[in-house]
Structure 1
Amino acid sequence: MTTRRGEFRALYRALQRDRRAFEATPVIFCEGDSWFSTPLAMNLLDWLVWPAPADEARGVPLFGAGGLFFRTEDSGDLALDMFAPRRIRDLAEWYEGFAFDLVLVSAGGNDFVDGFLQRLFRSLRPMSATAAFQRVLDSGRYGQVRAAYRGFVERFRVIRPRTPILAHSYDYPLRMGQPAKLTLGNLGAAALLKQGAGPWIGNRVAHVLPDIAQQRRFAQLMTDGFVEHVLMPLRDDPASGRVFDFVDLRGTLRRESHWFDEMHPSGAGFALLADRFRRQMQQKLEVKLGG
């Protein structure tokens, strides 16, 4: 059962009235960006909410062993905004009020694209992908995002010291410079009011990295940098490593058909990512799910 804030409290209270169902149902807190929220296809979180084919074949219901999901994600969010002190206080109030068994986080991709790249490479001449990535490193952006993550993790860890927090890496973009094509089929009537979305990377660095292969290499270096300078230090930090972990999704989507646009997988691509994510979720929840 997936709910936004207004529905969650009522469903949680109803579930509490059935002790056996409550004990068998993982309650999951979800905060994230468009990989958890995009309406253009079944996104990563959508695939995690619905049962895996093997579970469906065994008759696992959505409500019960399938989980109760509190969803507060939103497309376009930056980690720097999501994990700002005021936002953390708001999220912590909800987190403290209910017995959550797992926290899922999707954050950080938007912090390294679009306006950030435009400002970083404004008026510069062509360079190598390695030199371009060095400018990202020198900007201090990874440290800023890591600090924002740490603030979130530390606040949630204080509330529930044993509840796992599971984030994810992003995968390597392939369709550089490709915007999202919005249609009635994938967005409904809203597509009539919005011409498109993106791109967020290729158009911001094309003047310094004119070759598509260079742009892909640059995006790969930034994706690896997010893992090496944000996710891994948090996981390995004794202060947060006991609760924080991440799913490494790199190298999963190897075909352009797995991507909807420059930054977002297709529904089929998200399904492949969800298979990896689900396995690690199940490991974190094995006590609640009965092993």
Structure 2
Amino acid sequence: MPVPASSLSQRGQFRALYNGLKSQKALDRVPVILCEGDSWFSTPLYMNMLDWIVSPAPQDNERGVPLLGQGGLFFRAEHSGDQAIPQKEHPSRSMFTKDNVDDLVGWFGRFNFDAVLLSAGGNDFVDTWLQKTMAGQKNLSPQQAFDVIVATGRFDDLRNAYALFLDTFHAAKPNVPILAHTYDYPRLIGSDAKLGLGNLGAAALLKKSIGPWIGPYIEPVIPGGVPAWRAFVKLLIDGFAERVLEPLKASARYGGMFDYVDLRGQLTRDDQWNDEMHPNEAGFHLLATVFRAALSAKLPPAKR
């Protein structure tokens, strides 16, 4: 009998459900997964990518989309707006600080997790950081603007932040796979979040974080309008994959246990996006099918 997927952010609830599955001798077939990340895993405005992985739509099964075979137990530690790189101004909004990583790995060590999912890095290149970085710049091509980003060392800082997390978790349990993802190429540069009646309650809590986080800071710097701005952001997305995720995946120190899902080029239509950084619910659903298949392949055969 399949076990319905459950996602919990409260540690006491997670422990109780884990122990319940253990007493029922169900842990040999139920995947147990720890999740840390940003709004691609946590936005409450509609079903995000992780929501779709935890709770696939009924039609997914009919379409033959690979699901987690016996349900799953997800411990969710993600928060919208969190950055990967430690921030002096807002340390509590930084994922890969020593205190936060040590706290999570302590929890990780108490249970038999089968995988760790990460969604991190997108927020580190936008908003006030991008504003400060581009201040005073004028008439740059997308490539020249990207070169300004590279010169700051931001990609190196992000790779080092990821490495702190990976080193700590891999040392604790070297055989547990850790799976991250790229972001897809945004299209609605300069657009803020679309808030409808269905998400108005949650939106009230996030009214200071509905964007735009990119457009206002590159519009005065990169001439050429949306096509040029998309080209610049594409370089950022590619840079994240090529300068952060790929070197870490290739590193022998993780024994092949760190990997990432390449989501670039999946969402090619404006109507698959909600704003300049986030797909809409349908967009996240499409990305989740790609991510879920990669996750399933990382799990023990009995738990796929």
Please state which band the TM-score falls in when normalised by the shorter chain.
over 0.9
Q: How does 1:187-202 map to 2 (within 5 A)?
A: 187-188=200-201, 190-191=203-204, 194=207, 197-202=210-215
Partner Cα separation in structure 1 for residue 154 and residue 208 of structure 2: 31
Q: Deviations over 1:28-74 (max 9, x none)?
A: 0000000000011110000000136577459xxx9981100000100
Gaps of 5+ in 1: none
Q: Which amino acid aligns with 1:164?
A: P
1:15 Cα shift? 0.9
Partner of 2:283: 269
> Are positions 1:107 and 2:107 aligned together?
no
> Are positions 1:14 and 2:6 aligned together?
no
RMSD over aligned Cα atoms: 2.0
Q: Deviations over 1:141-169 (max 9, x none)?
A: 00000001011011101111100000000
1:191 Cα shift? 3.0
Partner Cα separation in structure 2 for residue 162 and residue 192 of structure 1: 39
Partner of 1:173: 186
1:187 Cα shift? 3.4
Q: Deviations over 1:153-198 (max 9, x none)?
A: 1110111110000000000000010001223322326538837610
Partner of 2:71: 66
Partner of 2:175: 162
Q: Which amino acid aligns with 1:127?
A: L
Q: Which amino acid aligns with 1:75?
A: S
Partner of 1:236: 250
Moved more, 64-73 or 45-54: 45-54
Gaps of 5+ in 2: 1-5, 86-93
Q: 1:35 to 1:63 in 2, by over 3 A?
A: closer
Q: Secondary structure at the match of 2:252?
A: coil
Q: TM-score if structure 2 supplies the norm length?
A: 0.89
1:124 Cα shift? 1.6
Partner Cα separation in structure 2 for residue 92 and residue 192 of structure 1: 29
Q: 1:229 to 1:170 in 2, by over 3 A?
A: same
Q: TM-score if structure 1 supplies the norm length?
A: 0.93
> Are positions 1:218 and 2:232 aligned together?
yes
> Are positions 1:249 and 2:263 aligned together?
yes
Q: Secondary structure at the match of 1:246?
A: strand
Partner Cα separation in structure 2 for residue 246 and residue 193 of structure 1: 29
Q: Deviations over 1:1-26 (max 9, x none)?
A: 1111232111111111011x211100
Partner Cα separation in structure 2 for residue 16 and residue 196 of structure 1: 40
% identical aligned pairs: 51
> Are positions 1:23 and 2:25 aligned together?
no
Q: 1:277 to 1:190 in 2, by over 3 A?
A: closer
Partner Cα separation in structure 1 for residue 222 and residue 279 of structure 2: 23
Partner Cα separation in structure 2 for residue 164 and residue 115 of structure 1: 33
Partner Cα separation in structure 1 for residue 28 and residue 124 of structure 2: 38
Q: 1:149 to 1:17 in 2, by over 3 A?
A: same
Moved more, 177-186 or 23-32: 177-186
1:125 Cα shift? 1.2
Q: Secondary structure at the match of 1:145?
A: helix
* CA contact 2:44–2:202 (8 Å) conserved in 1: no
Partner Cα separation in structure 2 for residue 216 and residue 76 of structure 1: 21
Q: Secondary structure at the match of 2:275?
A: coil
* CA contact 1:22–1:64 (8 Å) conserved in 2: no
Partner of 1:44: 49
Partner Cα separation in structure 2 for residue 37 and residue 124 of structure 1: 34
Q: Secondary structure at the match of 1:174?
A: coil
Moved more, 42-51 or 165-174: 42-51
Q: Secondary structure at the match of 2:113?
A: coil
Q: Which amino acid aligns with 2:82?
A: D
> Are positions 1:143 and 2:174 aligned together?
no
Partner Cα separation in structure 1 for residue 202 and residue 179 of structure 2: 34
Q: 1:241 to 1:170 in 2, by over 3 A?
A: farther
